[in-house]
Amino acid sequence: MRPVPKPSTSRPQLLVSVRDADEASLACAAGADLVDAKDPANGALGALPVDAVRAIVARVGASVTTSAVAGEPDTASALAPCVAAMASTGVDYVKVAVRSEHPDAALAEAAEAAGGRLIGVLFAGDVFGLNIVPRLAAAGFRGAMIDTRSKDGRRLGDLLLPDDLAAFVAACHAHGLLSGLAGSLDVDDIPALAAHAPGYLGFRGGLCRNGDRRNALDPLRVNAALEALRALGRRDAA
């Protein structure tokens, strides 16, 4: 595992979720900043088999930042084992669903299992308070993201107000955590979400053929998202 680069401060980084090594190569070639291993046929945070993630890391791990989803454990006690299994693949970050009711001890155990590389994922449709952000930081998490649980056509902005998203990102910044926003995003969502200054914007369906997350990635859509982000960086630098 190589040292993890810090995200650029000029623009959010582009996270592209992939389901296999071939898609990972495509995303990397198209310019993705982070390749995220995920099973799009198994819910919002469906985990791929460990061997599939190892194949992704072997294919692109030296040339791009990588992450992998460890799933949505049913119980707090299942957090650490799920995380440890995915951390063993050599990815730069591990992502796992967390809930406000998870005890601090279970969060700390999960963070330790990832060796300081754990990203906690919160769902926009769930009830959670910003007090979970300092709890994740205290437990040793590396970052936090918001995603949408139900892939029913509703996008992140349909479930949370801009002020809510801005407050989440600001809380992450205040507590030294990487931040990410995701949830059925489309290229058109980039300017408004980038204004909140998250570290990453996460995509799957919006970058797939016909906008269907179960279809293959479309390199033209990946390029369009990257160009939209680069345009923001150029504008801010002007």
Hey, which residues are catalytic here?
A: 38, 95
What is the rounded CA–CA span in Å between residue 164 and residue 44?
A: 21
Instruction: Return the C-alpha torsion angle 71, 161, 197, 182, nearest 10.
Output: 30
- The answer to whether 4 and 65 have CB atoms below 8 angstroms apart is yes
Q: CB neighbours of 67 closer than 8 A, spacing ≥ 6?
A: 15, 34, 35, 36, 37, 91, 92, 93, 94, 95, 119
What is the rounded CA–CA span in Å between residue 124 and residue 229?
A: 23
Residue listed under structure tokens 């056509």: 153
What is the rounded CA–CA span in Å between residue 236 and residue 238?
A: 6
Q: CB neighbours of 105 closer than 8 A, spacing ≥ 6?
A: none
Residue listed under structure tokens 């993705």: 32
